[in-house]
């Protein structure tokens, strides 16, 4: 289209429209959405989506990888009628989320179609509000692990045709082999196909690239039943002994108070247990594990993958020197190195207002440090003592673990 033929978008309408389209192409569009597509001057989408709109006289722009690489090209079209085609609901694991971070709300209008989650629930008779909706498209698969629980229902957007087999293997590995699986290929399109089975009998054959997996979780006798509430068993973590034990860990996380969207620093992370449980407790959260020992750093990463939190960031280095430049935290746990000169001052300065700082020690010298800190910062100083019953000859008695002194303080 020549420059003379360019018609600017009306001033009272956004120049950028994001239209959800189903696998059946134009037939999936409402009259309003189809009118927007037909009035577009620039059409943006994947090559598969662009082929669904056999419209002449329209400029076409295919997505680059990653999506954001195309955003400058979109910016250059400002003032023209630009239509972005997206799969299903653009704001549900779709390109609409990324566009909303780049362009102001008043510049965009979004016309969603039913998402794959809605379509799968309609086929299965599942209430969408009771289903955990996940995406493994261009994402690591490990987060699926933290959603496995008896009677849980999951719907997962696949990355490719091998994803159903990967999910089946993961379910079996965690003892959920009896779980029912359903794969929907090309949901909502003329080539829609459904395959049902269980994880433990799942076929190895690949599926269509465009597929969605539904899982009705059913644990087997050896299932690993790991709650997302703080306090996983100690043997859930690989450790060389540097591990905040289960009961103290649960109490520590209660003081750290995980909140959606917030970030934790786990300083002297050891096995990474506190940071991992922080992430498991949240749908949207961030955590950085700071550890100076390289072998422990590798162990933290392995624990994070196995327990479904591959998004955990591991920083190798000695605090406080390695803390400079890290994103500001909303909570800080100091499990090791409390006596390190300058550590408290650095952490306290970095902590956001309203943030929580919790430090645990087991030595008398560490207690002296926490007493000094409390004198400067205030807060609450408590002692946690745990005893477990163990055999004593033919009888039983209580064996006490080393008591833990804990300082918990909130920044004004």
Q: What are the φ and ψ backbone dihedral angles of 275, each rounded to 5 degrees?
A: -65, -40
398: alpha, beta or left? (left if phi > 0; alpha if psi -120 to 50): beta
Q: Quick one: CATH architecture of 12-113? A: 3-Layer(aba) Sandwich (3.40)
Report the DSSP pairing between strands 82-87 and 59-62. unpaired
Whether residue 157 has pLDDT greater than 80: yes
Indicate yes or no: pTM above 0.85. Answer: yes
Angle at Cα 380 formed by Cα 237 and Cα 326, nearest 5°? 55
Place of tokens 């926490």: 370
More confidently predicted of 55 and 132: 132
**Among the listed residues 111, 98, 101, the one whose alpha carbon sits nearest the alpha carbon of residue 39:** 111
Where do we find the tokens 């299965």? 124
Write down the mean pLDDT value for the chain: 93
Domain boundaries, the chain: 12-113, 117-216, 234-410
Residues 117-216: name the CATH superfamily: Tetrapyrrole methylase, C-terminal domain (3.30.950.10)
Contact 263, 269 (CB under 8 A): no
* pLDDT > 70: percent of the chain: 97
Query: Over the stretch 133-142, which tens digit does the pLDDT of each residue have?
Result: 999 998 999 9
* 94-108, 256-270, 333-347, range with greatest mean pLDDT: 256-270
| C-alpha dihedral (85, 90, 95, 100), degrees to nearest 10 | 110
> For residue 68, what pLDDT is reported?
81
* Residue 12: per-residue pLDDT: 63
pLDDT score of 160 more than 90: yes
Q: Is the dihedral of CA 300, 147, 186, 169 positive or negative?
A: positive
Distance, in Å, from the CA atom of 22 to the CA atom of 244, rounded to the nearest integer, reads 49
Considering the four listed CATH numbers 3.30.930.10, 3.40.50.150, 3.40.50.720, 3.40.50.11810, the one that applies to the domain covering 234-410 is 3.40.50.150
Distance in angstroms (rounded) separating the CA atoms of residues 147 and 174: 11
| Residues contacting 42, CB < 8 A, separation 6+ | 58, 59, 60, 61, 77, 80, 81, 82, 83
Spell out a b/e string for 22-55, using b for 16 or more CB atoms within 10 Å of the CB, else e: bbbbeebbeeebbebbeebbbbbbeeebbebbee
Tell me: the pLDDT tens digits for 302-321? 999 999 999 999 999 999 99
Residue 143 and residue 93: Cα distance in Å, rounded? 15
Shortest CA distance to 246 belongs to which of 269, 228, 230, 226? 230
The Cα 258–Cα 284 span in angstroms is 10
What residues form DSSP beta bridges with 193? 185
pLDDT tens per residue across span 105-132 = 999 999 999 999 999 999 999 999 999 9
């Amino acid at each position: 289209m020549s420059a003379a033929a360019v018609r600017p978008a009306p001033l009272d309408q956004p120049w950028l429209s994001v239209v959800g389209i189903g696998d059946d192409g134009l037939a999936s569009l409402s009259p309003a959405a189809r009118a927007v597509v037909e009035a577009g001057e620039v059409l943006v989408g994947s090559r598969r989506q662009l082929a669904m709109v056999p419209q002449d006289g329209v400029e076409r722009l295919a997505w680059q990888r990653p999506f954001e690489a195309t955003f400058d090209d979109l910016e250059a079209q400002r003032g023209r009628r630009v239509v972005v085609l997206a799969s299903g609901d653009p704001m549900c694991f779709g390109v609409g989320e990324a566009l909303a971070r780049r362009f102001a709300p008043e510049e965009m209008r979004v016309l969603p179609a039913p998402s794959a989650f809605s379509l799968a629930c309609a086929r299965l008779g599942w209430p969408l509000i009771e289903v955990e909706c996940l995406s493994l498209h261009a994402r690591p698969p490990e987060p699926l692990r933290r959603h496995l629980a008896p009677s849980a229902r999951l719907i997962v957007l696949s990355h490719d045709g091998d994803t159903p087999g990967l999910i089946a293997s993961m379910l079996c590995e965690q003892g959920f082999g009896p779980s029912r699986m359903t794969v929907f290929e090309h949901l909502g399109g003329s080539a829609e196909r459904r395959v049902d089975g269980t994880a433990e009998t799942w076929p190895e054959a690949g599926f269509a690239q465009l597929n969605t997996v539904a899982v009705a979780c059913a644990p087997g006798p050896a299932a690993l039943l790991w709650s997302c509430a703080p306090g996983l068993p100690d043997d859930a973590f690989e450790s060389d002994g540097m591990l905040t034990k289960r009961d103290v860990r649960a109490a520590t996380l209660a003081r750290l108070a995980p909140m959606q969207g917030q970030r934790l620093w786990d300083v002297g992370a050891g096995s990474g247990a506190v940071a991992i449980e922080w992430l498991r407790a949240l749908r949207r959260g961030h955590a950085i594990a700071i550890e100076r020992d390289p072998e422990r750093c590798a162990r933290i990463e392995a624990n994070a993958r196995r327990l479904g939190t591959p998004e955990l960031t591991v920083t190798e280095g000695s605090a406080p020197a390695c803390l400079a430049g890290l994103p500001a935290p909303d909570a800080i746990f100091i499990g090791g190195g409390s006596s390190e000169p300058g550590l408290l001052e650095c952490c306290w300065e970095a902590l956001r207002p309203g943030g929580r700082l919790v430090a645990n020690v087991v030595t008398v010298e560490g207690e002296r440090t926490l007493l000094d800190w409390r004198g400067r910062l205030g807060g609450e100083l408590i002692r946690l003592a745990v005893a477990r019953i163990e055999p004593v000859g033919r009888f039983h008695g209580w064996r006490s673990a080393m008591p833990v002194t804990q300082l918990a303080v909130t920044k004004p």
